[in-house]
A and B are shown apart, each in its own frame.
Chain A
Amino acid sequence: MKKIMIIVGGLLLIGPILAHSTNHTHGPGSVGDGASGCGWGALLFDGNDGVGAHVLAVTTNNSFGNNTFGLSSGTNGCNADQTIRYRGGRVYIGANMTKLAEDMSRGSGETLAGLSEIMGIAVEDRPAFYAVVKKHFAVIFPRESVTGDEVMDALLVVMKSDSTLSKYTG
């Protein structure tokens, strides 16, 4: 009995330490490293294949690689002959799929506002943009494994058929 109690006691002592080390064994994962390039962005509802819920967080902080200019240089966008603006949009969508889907389903939110900024949608047209993406959520996100490029393409189609927003797709 005494032996068992000693073992239990020992386990309790090191429990918190172990609980931590498990958090630290994961790499920075697929989100944010921007390394996967073309076709990237089927991240919707990403589970955790190593996504760092408190990975080695952060006064020390892993630096998530040198993913310096994903946004504007569009190096992660796939289709080189898209206009610059949409290449930026594609990268942004790829990197923000889950949050963007949430915002679009509600017709509001900061990530969606960021997309309207990237797409150059005028402030007065934003309510219309938010309403349209909410209404056509099922078209823009036709299934759970959609890619960022598919989302962008569907979004452009939806916008084209809207009288207020079609001007942004030209």
Chain B
Amino acid sequence: MQLHEDPQWLALVHYRRTVFGNWVSDADDPDFFLAKTGKHDPEAELSATLRAFSAPGGGDQHARCRFPARYYWLKSRLELGRAALSDQHCKAFSEWAQTLNAHSVSLIFPASYLNSPSSMFGHTFLRLDRKNQSDDAHLLAYTINYAADVNMADNELFYAYRGLFGGYPGVISVQPFYEKVQEYSDFENRDIWEYTLDLSPGETVQLIRHVWEIQPVRFDYFFIGENCSYRVLSLLDAVRPGLGLREKFPYRSIPSDTVRAIVDAGLVKSVNYRASAATVLNAHTRQLTMGQRRIARQLANGEIPLDSDEIESLAATERTKTLEVAYEWLRYRTLADKLPRDSVADLSYKLLLARSRIDSPSPLKLPQRPAARDDEGHKPWRADLGFGFLDHTAFGSLRLRSAYHDLTDPAPGYRLGAQIKFLDARFRYYENNRFQVEAVDVIDIASLTPRTGFINPLSWTIGLGARRKLLESSRPMVGYLDGGIGLSYGVGSGMIFGLMDATLETGAAIPSGADIGFGPRIGFLYRGLGGQGLLDFRIDCFIVNEDYCAGGIRLDHTVNLGRDYALNLRLGRERGENSYASEFLLSVRRYF
């Protein structure tokens, strides 16, 4: 094999094959290449690199100092004892590496956070751990974070467009871990998984060298393909030969998928869980009695003074708990509701002052680590194969989904009430030899978060696609846009929700071309019977053409068979315009 075809060389310059079989580097910055044709030509880039390394001169601007990872790798491959490639002092780089002082690496995975669409799938970045780093020092470690350098002035549409089709530069930033924890744990309420990686100190140093190389370089950022996780994979590929992680995700890299790949590659030594501020608040609230919760709420609302009898009469431990939860809740609200500083600072301070005067350690226990990690849930692709009846006509059913999780998919590793679906298509073949597209959901999101008295989010849904609509004598295809807003409440290990739904339908079958309907939707999401399920009742009253109400009730239950298989039963009764239809569908689901 020629040296320029070595996977390590290709990884260091971020080459990949195009669909036509040519090489192209992901780097979108001419300064990253030493050859003019470097972006497309690994061989030319290698020759130019070798020439530049042996060029006379020195200092931080020299290629050996600008590209220390390439230099280190070439030196080890070419067994260069030759003077032309002797080590030389790179002041800027060695100061930088010394400051980072990295000995090992952890992969950090802030889990998805549904209420923010851009973080739906989670995020990944690296933390540089020091030698014998104590648990007390985690927050001080540096992180290497790759992210889109988003223009804050861009509106939502620009943001979505540029994210999907390019236009945002991706940049690497180095920040202390405490800033990232504030960002994710405290402000965004996302739980964080920390995976200690099995990189040797030598590999860690090579990682640092390589980050130095690409830090000033622009890579275009794409939300789906070339995103944070993709870059993390390419960094790991560049430091350990033979991983080939990046090539497993040629089109898209969802963080939980890439974490799975990293776990499967045997790179993970141990895993730590860090609960978000909201998770902690929920867990702490559950350790209070109803009476204490009420007092905590009143305290945080400023409805009762800190020296009131209700608080003074509590035993020291109970008072401690109540004050701590009151503070945590006020803090949560400050961030979630964007309360102005003036309205909270004084009360926050007084709560802490009162807490500090009680001579008792915190009696509140931290939340338990979830039984399944976010990378231990089912995979995002799904294929369903099944059979059923629509009224009395039998059909075979095939359903394919690109991503990610729906309300009735196996729950481990996902949040109950959180649904994101992309490109979910259903096809049917009826016994009378009719082949039909049943529905194509382009996007379908549900964010159902139970209200607790302390944390009181709205639940919402949105969906866009095409589906069959039951009319008087036919089921034509219509395009739809659905949305709903409402409330959810926890019931046992499940939840009930009530939404006000609206729907816009359009198609040739609708007399005026489009119709709007709205009405209530009530659902019960539960766990049990070998899996989880959803009982769903909805009514839509259409108002543009003829006034009529459609709707239906359905039960959707899934029995989980291991991580990547499930059995789904769907029973429904639907009312259309002056007509009814019953549906039965039994299918096997495979996740991959």
Residues of A within 8 A of B (CB): 2, 5-6, 8-17, 19-21, 23-24, 26-28, 31-32, 44-49, 51-73, 92, 95-96, 98-99, 101-102, 104-108, 110-111, 113-114, 116-118, 123, 126, 134-135, 137-138, 141, 143-145
- Enumerate the 5 nearest inter-chain pairs by beta-carbon distance, A residue then B residue, closest first: A47-B341, A61-B147, A12-B502, A137-B356, A144-B349
23 contacts between A and B (CB under 8 A): A10-B504, A12-B485, A12-B500, A13-B504, A16-B445, A16-B460, A17-B483, A44-B349, A45-B344, A54-B116, A56-B159, A60-B147, A60-B148, A63-B149, A64-B173, A71-B140, A98-B331, A99-B186, A102-B331, A104-B356, A108-B361, A113-B135, A145-B345
- The residues of B that contact A9 with a CB separation of less than 8 Å are 502-504, 516-518, 543
- Interface residues of B, count at CB 8 A: 93
Which residues in chain B, 112-170, are within 8 Å of chain A measured between CB atoms? 113, 115-123, 134-140, 142, 145, 147-150, 152, 155-156, 159, 163, 168
Measured CA separation A48–B156 after assembly (Å): 21
State how many angstroms separate the Cβ of B241 from the closest Cβ of chain A: 28
Question: Which of A32, A106, A144 is the one whose CB lies under 8 Å from B362?
Answer: A106
- The residues of A that contact B163 with a CB separation of less than 8 Å are 60
| Known A45-B345, A64-B175; contact A108-B460, beta-carbon cutoff 8 A | no
* Most central of B121, B149, B227 by chain A CB within 10 Å: B149
* Most central of B148, B163, B175, B361 by chain A CB within 10 Å: B175
Does B561 sit within 8 A of A, measured CB to CB?
A: no
* Cβ A17 vs Cβ B334 within 8 A: no
Does B501 sit within 8 A of A, measured CB to CB?
A: yes
Instruction: Name B447's closest neighbour in chain A (CB-CB).
Output: A16
Interface 9-mer from B1-9, B177-185, B568-576: B177-185
Number of A-B contacts (CB under 8 A): 269
* Cβ B335 vs Cβ A53 within 8 A: yes
Measured CA separation A45–B339 after assembly (Å): 11
* Cβ A53 vs Cβ B544 within 8 A: no
* Cβ B483 vs Cβ A12 within 8 A: yes
Measured CA separation A21–B154 after assembly (Å): 11
| Known A10-B516, A59-B118; contact A106-B355, beta-carbon cutoff 8 A | yes
Does B176 sit within 8 A of A, measured CB to CB?
A: yes
- The residues of A that contact B482 with a CB separation of less than 8 Å are 13
Measured CA separation A165–B118 after assembly (Å): 47
